[in-house]
Homo-oligomer: A and B are copies of this chain.
């Protein structure tokens, strides 16, 4: 596939009204993105300016290739956490070596995304089930919040899973840096109040909804400005509080990934996981927003666009990025019409990195930690446990195992285990299909489960139904079941298998059907099929099975019973 350039489509019809809408949206997103990009860079273990670098070139590339009109690309919480987990084994956070590995990770992730897009492998992301994603995102949110507590307390505590983090925090708990803790707790409380209480209050005070919304969005900026000013005025740095410090002024630098094959090999799995998680997050928000305007996005095109974005991040000193949920929703709500809004946002971030960084010098790190905690706790949805428990035990198991493994073993193990568990549960379920003996509902031509309904049956002719496609994992279950049925019914002479729910029969299942037929024939019985679907019948034609079949293939189950066991005909 050649990637297309959606920009050629929307660019041609770009007018002044669209420009205005896009500019307004870009302004709001930029205000939101500045603190987030700094905070997520710190979360990933990188200097804060790297977050700004990762919010320029990737946005431009996405605007060129992306098929979503409103997706806001840049650093996001979960991918930043996964980045920290992936690099932590290779370098010490904050060092230039660490940054170089982050750049390499963005490069590998970008290359993988691009390749997957060109090979149209977007469908692979479908194997991340909703329960796994929910469990993973919630656990990641808790992990991130826990990891920020150390910054909030002004202590050192490292760990890539909840056990390590909590253990380290408990050791440090008696000796926090009280000033930092106070500022952090107040900032967190303020941000929670802005999120929940400010908007209703402003509306109550007479502001219109839109303005109230925009002011509530600016809450983090207010917290940053106020705490930075206080830190400068009251010399919090001199009292031992950690501040952001010198953030280099200037445009994103040109950088190269490390050409180290051994490093690439060890980063391959984390890079793949980051790519898949980033892609899934991006596509699901993109799809939801596109559908609201009856537009659509192309998953394989999105892979190409995210691949290009990450490659550009690698060459401009950034780290892995993707389409973020919260910022995209804000972009959409603010009225963005085209990806040009992303270009204007990139310009805004460029201006910020050129002129705004000195103002960040006194910003307490605890304030950034507070913005992260408030942002990620909205990702945590433990209600999913209750909801899936009510709906399906297997889905519940998938959520629970992903959640617990992510908390206990970190993001990579958690994600892999979650996928493996959900696939295993699906295979287990299809390997034990629902099977029923069926009988005729008197006065009709319908057949129903003999255990659930009052139906007529015959000792000579046994009707069976299987509610699943037949494939290797359930073929033997069918064999066993037919064996059981036959062993229990010495008078049976005909077995009729109703195939109305069988969408496919693979080679193993075909051999099982042949084995069933052979055994029934050896025991002096005949094996029939009824209601075989067209595509299945097409494939069975020309096989030895149909030629050798001891019985017949009936169009309807009623017809089969009608011919083989006329005595159970209902007297209508």
A residues near B (Cβ < 8 Å) are 123, 125-132, 287-288, 290-292, 294-296, 299, 387-388, 390-392, 394-395, 422-423, 426-427, 429-434, 467-469, 471-477, 479-480, 483-484, 486-487, 501, 503-504, 506-508, 510-512, 515, 518-519, 522-523, 533, 535, 539, 542-543
How far, in angstroms, from A512 to B426 measured CA to CA in the complex?
17
A126 contacts which of B426, B477, B522 (Cβ < 8 Å)?
B477
How far, in angstroms, from A394 to B131 measured CA to CA in the complex?
29
Nearest chain B CB to A305's CB is how many angstroms away?
A: 17
A-B pairs with beta carbons under 8 Å apart, 22 shown: A123-B431, A126-B477, A128-B472, A129-B507, A130-B507, A130-B512, A131-B472, A287-B515, A288-B519, A290-B483, A291-B515, A299-B480, A387-B507, A390-B542, A391-B507, A395-B507, A395-B508, A422-B472, A426-B427, A426-B472, A429-B504, A430-B469
Find out whether the CB atom of B506 lies under 8 angstroms from the CB atom of A392.
yes
Most chain B beta-carbon neighbours within 10 Å: one of A473, A477, A501 = A473
A542 to chain B: closest residue by CB? B390
How far, in angstroms, from A343 to B422 measured CA to CA in the complex?
46
Main secondary structure of the interface of A (DSSP, over half): helix
Which residues of the partner chain B approach A426 to less than 8 Å between Cβ atoms?
A: 427, 471-473, 506
Given known contacts A123-B431, A129-B471, A388-B507, what 9 new A-B pairs fall within 8 Å (CB)? Answer: A127-B473, A130-B508, A131-B472, A288-B519, A299-B480, A390-B542, A467-B503, A468-B469, A501-B501
Which residues of the partner chain B approach A431 to less than 8 Å between Cβ atoms?
A: 123, 126-127
Find out whether the CB atom of B508 lies under 8 angstroms from the CB atom of A129.
yes
A477 contacts which of B123, B290, B468 (Cβ < 8 Å)?
B123
Nearest chain B CB to A113's CB is how many angstroms away?
A: 17
Please name the 3 residue pairs, one residue from A and one from B, whose CB atoms are nearest each other, closest first.
A129-B472, A291-B519, A395-B507
Find out whether the CB atom of A391 lies under 8 angstroms from the CB atom of B483.
no
How far, in angstroms, from A519 to B390 measured CA to CA in the complex?
25
Copies in the complex: 2
Find out whether the CB atom of B522 lies under 8 angstroms from the CB atom of A291.
yes
How far, in angstroms, from A122 to B130 measured CA to CA in the complex?
30
Nearest chain B CB to A262's CB is how many angstroms away?
A: 24
Which residues of the partner chain B approach A390 to less than 8 Å between Cβ atoms?
A: 542
Q: With A507-B392, A510-B391, A542-B390 given, is the CB distance from A487 to B294 under 8 Å?
A: yes
Find out whether the CB atom of A539 lies under 8 angstroms from the CB atom of B391.
yes
Most chain B beta-carbon neighbours within 10 Å: one of A433, A468, A511 = A511
How far, in angstroms, from A395 to B468 measured CA to CA in the complex?
19
Find out whether the CB atom of A127 lies under 8 angstroms from the CB atom of B472.
yes
Q: With A391-B507, A507-B388, A507-B392 given, is the CB distance from A486 to B294 under 8 Å?
A: yes
How far, in angstroms, from A287 to B299 measured CA to CA in the complex?
48
Find out whether the CB atom of A296 lies under 8 angstroms from the CB atom of B484.
yes
Which residues of the partner chain B approach A433 to less than 8 Å between Cβ atoms?
A: 503
Find out whether the CB atom of A473 lies under 8 angstroms from the CB atom of B126.
yes
Find out whether the CB atom of B467 lies under 8 angstroms from the CB atom of A508.
no
How far, in angstroms, from A433 to B486 measured CA to CA in the complex?
34
Nearest chain B CB to A34's CB is how many angstroms away?
A: 31
A290 to chain B: closest residue by CB? B483
Find out whether the CB atom of A523 lies under 8 angstroms from the CB atom of B126.
no
How far, in angstroms, from A296 to B523 measured CA to CA in the complex?
12
How far, in angstroms, from A390 to B543 measured CA to CA in the complex?
9
Which residues of the partner chain B approach A487 to less than 8 Å between Cβ atoms?
A: 294-296
A539 contacts which of B392, B473, B542 (Cβ < 8 Å)?
B392
A543 contacts which of B123, B294, B391, B533 (Cβ < 8 Å)?
B391
Find out whether the CB atom of B480 lies under 8 angstroms from the CB atom of A523.
no
A428 to chain B: closest residue by CB? B123
How far, in angstroms, from A288 to B296 measured CA to CA in the complex?
54
Which residues of the partner chain B approach A299 to less than 8 Å between Cβ atoms?
A: 480
Nearest chain B CB to A441's CB is how many angstroms away?
A: 13
Nearest chain B CB to A42's CB is how many angstroms away?
A: 33
Find out whether the CB atom of A503 lies under 8 angstroms from the CB atom of B506.
no
How far, in angstroms, from A535 to B436 measured CA to CA in the complex?
13
How far, in angstroms, from A512 to B284 measured CA to CA in the complex?
10
Which residues of the partner chain B approach A506 to less than 8 Å between Cβ atoms?
A: 129, 392, 394-395, 426
How far, in angstroms, from A426 to B505 measured CA to CA in the complex?
11
Which residues of the partner chain B approach A476 to less than 8 Å between Cβ atoms?
A: 125-126
Q: With A467-B503, A486-B294, A501-B503 given, is the CB distance from A287 to B523 under 8 Å?
A: no
Nearest chain B CB to A11's CB is how many angstroms away?
A: 20
Find out whether the CB atom of A292 lies under 8 angstroms from the CB atom of B472.
no
Most chain B beta-carbon neighbours within 10 Å: one of A129, A131, A429 = A129
Nearest chain B CB to A128's CB is how many angstroms away?
A: 8
Find out whether the CB atom of B523 lies under 8 angstroms from the CB atom of A294.
yes
Which residues of the partner chain B approach A475 to less than 8 Å between Cβ atoms?
A: 126, 130
Find out whether the CB atom of A434 lies under 8 angstroms from the CB atom of B542.
no
Nearest chain B CB to A338's CB is how many angstroms away?
A: 18
Which residues of the partner chain B approach A427 to less than 8 Å between Cβ atoms?
A: 127, 423, 426
How far, in angstroms, from A431 to B427 measured CA to CA in the complex?
13
Nearest chain B CB to A534's CB is how many angstroms away?
A: 9
A384 to chain B: closest residue by CB? B507
How far, in angstroms, from A373 to B549 measured CA to CA in the complex?
35
Find out whether the CB atom of A126 lies under 8 angstroms from the CB atom of B484.
no
Which residues of the partner chain B approach A295 to less than 8 Å between Cβ atoms?
A: 487
